[in-house]
């Protein structure tokens, strides 16, 4: 089969679209015929070598690329009872050190990394959900706050940030969203009660509408101390990238969300897509063989929603 791999680190040009052996599902695993794979910033981190430098991915001869997948079950391993050949599924490959990622014609996943695909979305749309949706869910779980708490979401127009706003609102939180002024209508549509444009003196502007500061912050934009300063004493602060954690000043508890596959949580996200709670956003689609171009566009920035590779 054909897949995208990295044998040396660098810019988008190091991505190789090449022939590799067809993977075989083992016990408790499912092989998925890939219809669509989301393109995420973490993929660029693997390609550039950042994840290896950070000690997250060990050096190896070749690395697969891609975490998100939507497609159909092609084969099942021993002991698999929840899925059958032909089922439409989505899943998360949460091992960045894997020899094959989801940028491939077929991928093997553990059964507990899969969920039935949304009924109301195409595979292209569904491929944008697993990584970013689970990251938002698991970040909110870390907060462990009661309904009515005030939660700041930076980067609220982004893929993770947009899901975080919608999911926080669904949990009964009062959401303060930070994004570009042009995105105000979008993030309010996700469920933000308060909008604060990004820019200088962010903490002062947040505190002007939430006296004393917010109860917690999900810093998807990696603003660090700038966002931490908007959090009340002994509040909560969630970090979304290695090396991005600010000092836990004023008794604020700083946690890092390390996303992991979770079939039950993924099924819950699918239900929220189907009931209209979550909107799936596709920036554009490209053929699998144009992964280099996809990474060039990712690096250029300015995307709203995710690029998706089509097999």
In a shared domain, residues 287 and 239: no
Question: Cα–Cα distance between 192 and 184 in angstroms, integer?
Answer: 9
Domain of 210 in residue numbering reads as 132-256
Domain assignment of residue 79, yes or no: yes
81: CATH: 3.90.180.10
Beta-carbon count within 10 A of 249 CB: 13
Element (H, E) at 114: strand 114-116
- Tell whether the torsion through CA atoms of 255, 260, 265 and 266 is positive or negative: positive
Q: What is the pLDDT of residues 250-293, one digit of tens each?
A: 999 999 999 999 999 999 999 999 999 999 999 999 999 999 99
pLDDT of residue 126: 98
Domain assignment of residue 264, yes or no: no
pLDDT of residue 211: 97
Q: Coil, strand, or helix at residue 198?
A: coil
pLDDT of residue 242: 79
Question: Cα–Cα distance between 73 and 88 in angstroms, integer?
Answer: 7
The predicted model scores a pTM of 0.95
In a shared domain, residues 83 and 141: no
Q: How long a stretch of residues is the chain?
A: 311
In a shared domain, residues 105 and 136: no
In a shared domain, residues 113 and 73: yes
In a shared domain, residues 136 and 120: no
Choose among 179, 181, 183, 180: nearest CA to 153: 179
Is the predicted pLDDT of residue 63 greater than 90, yes or no? yes
């Amino acid at each position: 089969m054909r897949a995208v791999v990295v044998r040396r680190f660098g810019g988008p040009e190091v991505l190789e679209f090449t022939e590799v052996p067809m993977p075989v599902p083992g016990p408790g695993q499912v092989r998925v015929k890939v219809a669509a794979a989301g393109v995420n910033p973490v993929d660029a981190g693997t390609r550039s070598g950042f994840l290896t430098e950070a000690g997250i991915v060990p050096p190896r001869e070749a690395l697969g690329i891609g975490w998100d997948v939507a497609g159909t079950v092609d084969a099942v391993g021993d002991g698999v009872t929840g899925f059958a050949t032909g089922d439409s599924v989505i899943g998360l490959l949460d091992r960045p050190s894997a020899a094959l990622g989801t940028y491939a014609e077929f991928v093997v996943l553990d059964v507990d990394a899969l969920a039935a695909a949304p009924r109301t979305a195409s595979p292209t749309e569904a491929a944008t959900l697993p990584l970013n949706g689970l990251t938002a869910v698991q970040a909110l779980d870390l907060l462990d706050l009661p309904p009515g708490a005030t939660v700041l979401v930076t980067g609220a127009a982004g893929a993770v940030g947009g899901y975080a706003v919608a999911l926080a609102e669904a949990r009964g939180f009062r959401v303060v969203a930070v994004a570009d002024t042009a995105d105000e209508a979008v993030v309010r549509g996700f469920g933000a009660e308060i909008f604060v444009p990004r820019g200088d003196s962010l903490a002062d502007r947040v505190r002007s509408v939430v006296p004393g500061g917010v109860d917690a912050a999900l810093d998807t934009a990696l603003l660090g101390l700038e966002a931490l300063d908007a959090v009340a004493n002994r509040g909560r602060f969630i970090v979304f990238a290695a090396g991005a954690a600010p000092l836990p000043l004023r008794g604020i508890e700083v946690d890092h969300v390390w996303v992991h596959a979770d079939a039950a949580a993924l099924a819950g996200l699918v239900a929220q897509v189907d009931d209209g709670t979550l909107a799936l956003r596709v920036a554009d689609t490209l053929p699998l063989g144009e992964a280099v171009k996809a990474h060039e566009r990712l690096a250029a920035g300015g995307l709203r929603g995710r690029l998706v590779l089509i097999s």
